[in-house]
Amino acid sequence: MTWWRRGVIYEIYPRSFQDSDGDGVGDLRGITARLPYLRALGVDAIWLTPIYQSPQADFGYDISDHTAVDPQYGSLDDFDALVAAAHAQELRVLLDYVPNHTSDQHRWFREHPDWYYWRDEPNNWRAAFGGSAWERVGDRYYLHTYLREQPDLNWRNPEVRAAMLDVLRFWLDRGVDGFRVDAMRQLLKDPDWRDNPVNPDWDGVDPFESLLKVHSADLDEVQDVVAEIRSVIGDRLMVAEVYSPIERLVRYYGKNGNGAQLPFNFHLITTPWDAAAIADLVERYEAALPEGAWPNWVLGNHDRPRVASRVGTAQARVAAMLLLTLRGTPTLYYGDELGMIDGPDTGHDPGGRDGERTPMQWTAGGGFTTGEPWLPYGDLSVNVQDEPAMLRLHRDLIALRREFAEADYRTLHADDGVLAYARGDHHAVALNLTGEPRPLPVHGERLLSTHLDGGAERLRADEGVVLRI
C-alpha cells in the first residue's frame, strides 16, 4: 500500500502556524521547528497552503511568482531545509498548486494578456467573493472567478499549459511529495461564454450561489486537464479541491486512475450531524467510487468554519473519531486536534474566513509569535503544552487506525442518534451523536473511548468508542 492510503494528511496554514522571526506572521522556519510535534502526533504528510510570492490579496492564492517563496514566509533555502527536515522525520510535504488564476501583479498579466480571458462584453457570471466575475480595463473585460486581483488563466492556450506544467516540475525537482490542486473544477469555461442559468433553489444569501455554474465550472473537458496535470505529477500524490455532488466528484479519479488519487471529499462538512444522514453519505460515497479508487474524508479547512464550532466542543471528539476511523485518507486541519473554535471575523480576509485561520495555540500565552500575531488568538485555555484530552485522543486514534486502515467499511447501526460501523472483521466503531446516554449497539473489547477511560456498559453522552469484535 502506498503511504497516502494508510496515512493522515495535516493541513498547515503557514501564516498562522508558527512565526520564527517575531513579525507576527507564520513562516517556513517556524514550520520546520514544529515538525517534531507533527511527528509525535503521528501524521504522515503536511500540506502547505500557498507559500509563493504574492501581494496577499487572497493570502497567497493570488500568486505573482510561482517559483519564488514570499519573503514573509522565507526563502527557497528555507523551503529546501524544510523538505529535508521533513523527510528526515518521515514526513511528506505537499504544496498547493493554483492553476486557475494568478495575481494581477504577475508579470504574465502584463506581458501575455492572451494567457487570460478577455471579452468585449461581460456575461452574467458572478465572482466567488462578490460582484461580477468581469473587470473592465479600457473597453474590454477580463474574467476573475475570485477577486479582481485574481484574473483567470486561459487553459485553452497551449502556452499557458506549458508554463503552468513547468511550475509543477520546478517543485517536483525540489523534492515535494505531491500537490493539492486548487479550484480544480474551474479550469475550463464554456467556449461560447453562455450566461449561467438561475439557481431555482437559491436561498437568497450568497449571490454567488444565485446562478448554477453549468457553463463556468466542472465542464466534462476539465478531465483532460486533470489527466495532463496528473501525468506530470506521476507517482507522487495529487489531491484536488472539488466541491461537487458525489456523482461528479468521483469523476476526478479519472479513467483507469489517470486523475487525482484523492479528489477531496468535503461532504462531511455539509451533511447534517445525524446518524442516518452520515451513514447514508458514507454508503453512497463508497458505492460511487470507481474501481481501484481510494476514499478520503475532510472535516474542515481554511475556507470553512471549524468543526468544533459547527458541531460543538463535546461532539468535536466524536467527529474526530469519525474522521479517523472511516475508510479512507483523512485530512486534519491544523488546530482541530486541539478542538480550536472559530475566532471573530476581523476583516482581514475578503472572503470572511479569518475565524478559522487564527494562530495555532501552542501555550497558555500563545507561543505562536514573540510579536503581535497578525490575527488575534482564540481561547488559549486549549493549547498544545497543556496536552488537552482532545490532543491525546488524536494521537491515540492516529496510532490505532493503522490496525484497520485497509479494512472494509460496513454500517452496523444508524438510528436514534447512534452510528456504528465495522472495519473489517475485527474492529467496530460506535458513535453517540447526542448529548444523552444511549445503548451500545455492538459489543466487544473497548480499545479506545473519546473519554479516554475504560468506559461503561452504555454509550455516555457525546461518547464514541472503538471496539475489538
Active-site positions?
A: 182, 241
303 is a site residue for ligand GLC (CB under 6 A): yes
58 is a site residue for ligand GLC (CB under 6 A): yes
**Interacting residue with ligand GLC among 8, 183, 225, 324 (CB under 6 A):** 183
Our CB check for ligand GLC shows the closer of 213 and 423 to be: 213
Binding mask 76-115 for ligand GLC (x = CB under 6 A): ----------------------x-----------------
Rounded distance between C-alpha atoms, residue 40 and residue 17, angstroms: 16
Our CB check for Mg ion shows the closer of 27 and 135 to be: 27
Contact partner, 61, from Mg ion, ligand GLC, none, Cβ < 5-8 Å per class:
ligand GLC
Provide, rounded to whole angstroms, the least separation between the CB of residue 300 and Mg ion: 24
CB neighbour list of residue 200: distance below 8 Å, 6 or more residues apart? none
Q: Which of 187, 210, 194, 214 is nearest to 122 (CA)?
A: 194
182 is a site residue for ligand GLC (CB under 6 A): yes
Q: What are phi and psi of 256, to 5 degrees?
A: 50, 40
Give the largest Cα separation in the chain, rounded: 73
Q: Distances in Å between the alpha carbon of 75 and those of 29, 78, 217, 462?
A: 10, 5, 35, 45
Contact partner, 25, from ligand GLC, Mg ion, none, Cβ < 5-8 Å per class:
Mg ion
CB atoms within 10 A of CB 197: 12
Cell output for 181: 490542486
> Is 165 within 8 Å of 97 (Cβ atoms)?
no
Our CB check for ligand GLC shows the closer of 61 and 115 to be: 61
Instruction: Calculate helix-pair angle for 313-325, 389-400, nearest 10 degrees.
Output: 10
Provide, rounded to whole angstroms, the least separation between the CB of residue 69 and Mg ion: 12
SS3 at position 232: helix
Contact partner, 236, from Mg ion, ligand GLC, none, Cβ < 5-8 Å per class:
none
Contact partner, 218, from Mg ion, ligand GLC, none, Cβ < 5-8 Å per class:
none
Binding mask 17-56 for ligand GLC (x = CB under 6 A): ----------------------------------------
Give the residues across from 438 on adjacent strands: 459
Contact partner, 303, from Mg ion, ligand GLC, none, Cβ < 5-8 Å per class:
ligand GLC
Contact partner, 268, from ligand GLC, Mg ion, none, Cβ < 5-8 Å per class:
none
CB neighbour list of residue 229: distance below 8 Å, 6 or more residues apart? 97, 99, 165, 168, 181, 238
Where do we find the cell 468585449? 120
Provide, rounded to whole angstroms, the least separation between the CB of residue 13 and Mg ion: 13
How many CA atoms are closer than 13 Å to the CA of 377, on its beta-carbon side?
Answer: 20
**Cβ-closest residue to ligand GLC?**
61
Contact partner, 286, from ligand GLC, Mg ion, none, Cβ < 5-8 Å per class:
none
> Is 39 within 8 Å of 89 (Cβ atoms)?
yes
Provide, rounded to whole angstroms, the least separation between the CB of residue 160 and ligand GLC: 17
**Residues of this chain that bind Mg ion (CB under 5 A):** 19, 21, 23, 25, 27
Contact partner, 177, from Mg ion, ligand GLC, none, Cβ < 5-8 Å per class:
none
> Is 244 within 8 Å of 185 (Cβ atoms)?
yes
What residues between 225 and 254 interact with ligand GLC by CB under 6 A?
241
Rounded distance between C-alpha atoms, residue 63 and residue 151, angstroms: 10
Binding mask 342-361 for ligand GLC (x = CB under 6 A): ---------x----------
Q: Distances in Å between the alpha carbon of 412 and those of 38, 238, 442?
A: 33, 33, 8
Binding mask 374-413 for ligand GLC (x = CB under 6 A): ----------------------------------------
Our CB check for ligand GLC shows the closer of 183 and 278 to be: 183
Q: Distances in Å between the alpha carbon of 184 and those of 96, 162, 223, 336?
A: 12, 17, 10, 25
SS3 at position 6: helix
Provide, rounded to whole angstroms, the least separation between the CB of residue 199 and ligand GLC: 19
Q: Where are the alpha helices (DSSP H) in 112-183?
A: 158-173
Rounded distance between C-alpha atoms, residue 65 and residue 70, angstroms: 9
* Polymer length in residues for the chain: 469
Our CB check for ligand GLC shows the closer of 94 and 398 to be: 94
Our CB check for ligand GLC shows the closer of 155 and 409 to be: 155
Provide, rounded to whole angstroms, the least separation between the CB of residue 89 and Mg ion: 22
SS3 at position 3: helix
61 is a site residue for ligand GLC (CB under 6 A): yes
Our CB check for ligand GLC shows the closer of 29 and 302 to be: 302
Our CB check for ligand GLC shows the closer of 183 and 249 to be: 183
Q: Which of 371, 399, 367 is nearest to 380 (CA)?
A: 367
Binding site for ligand GLC (CB under 6 A): 58, 61, 98, 146, 182-183, 241, 302-303, 351
